[in-house]
Amino acid sequence: MNIVVLDGYTLNPGDLTWGKLGNLGKLEVYDRSSIADTIKRAVNAEIILTNKAVINKEVIQQLPKLKYIGVLATGYNVVDTEAAKQAGIVVTNIPAYSTDSVAQMVFAFILNFARQVALHSSEVKKGKWAKSKDFSFLLTPQIELVGKTLGIIGFGKIGQAVAKIGNAFGMRIIFYNRSKRTIPGIEAQQVNMETIFTAGDFISINCPLTESNVGFVNRGRLSLMKQTSFIINTGRGLLINEYDLADSLNNGRIAGAAMDVLSTEPPNEGNPLLTAKNCYITPHIAWATKEARARLMDIAAGNVAAFLEGSPVNVV
């Protein structure tokens, strides 16, 4: 079997091994591929693996030997699954590989807002503490998380992991989910969307992107939030109307925002959040701990092996 990895760099910039996949067939790995590259590089491939390289109907039609597309992520919007189905091509994804890593990033943002460790350390190194008249040098209000309300939108595996950490910090957990959820071992109350925005001291967005929820975090919902509250998005950038959020931040209607995802990635220079007040942005790295990437690699190899054995798993 000819196996082609179209854009392997983000998964493995050099600190992991492709060995398990290489044992399953003749393997070629490319760091990045355009659509033109994909057609040229995968023309003889029976199996291709992609993260963000687009596999649309036109690409599928020009890859006559293709039997399998493995998406190296949970989301599979880069693949035209209907065209793949019509061509008899199996499409799989990688579920639940980064749950703990993403939940950890949510709390990295929450703790940054609560204690501003980097800011204080930076100012100390500039000599500000040395010039202070007091032994305790405070630049921002210090927030204790015990008793604060954490609102979670989307209560799947990641939302539940965030809730467990919130429980450990003594936070009150409320969540919104489209279906009824009761999870043993997690202290959390299911509420409506309006309550998340009116009651949350911190709001964490952990739901998938669908056609119906594009831009659901908009001016109206942001206006419900307390001026002292913070919003965190590790889901998908298009869940938020970025202009409405930037306006809310710049006018002090909410205290802060943290984004690991944006509507366009890498961002356009004109993205309003790049210059918004008290907005922290990381470059889509919540998923990318070495441990999570190693799990992804193992699951990807397992998906291909199962397909070759005639019993595919994680089919979308």
Q: Which residues are catalytic?
A: 236, 265, 284
List beta partners, residue 5: 29, 49
Q: Which phi and psi (to 5°) does residue 190 adopt? A: -80, 130
Cβ proximity of 159 and 106 under 8 Å: no
Q: What is the largest CA-CA distance in the chain?
A: 74
Q: DSSP string of 231-249?
A: EEE-S-GGGB-HHHHHHHH
Tokens of 18: 């492709």
Question: How many residues would you count in the chain?
Answer: 316
3-state secondary structure of 211: coil
Q: How many CB atoms lie within 10 A of CB 265?
A: 12
Burial of 233 (0-12, 13-18, 19+ CB in 10 A): buried
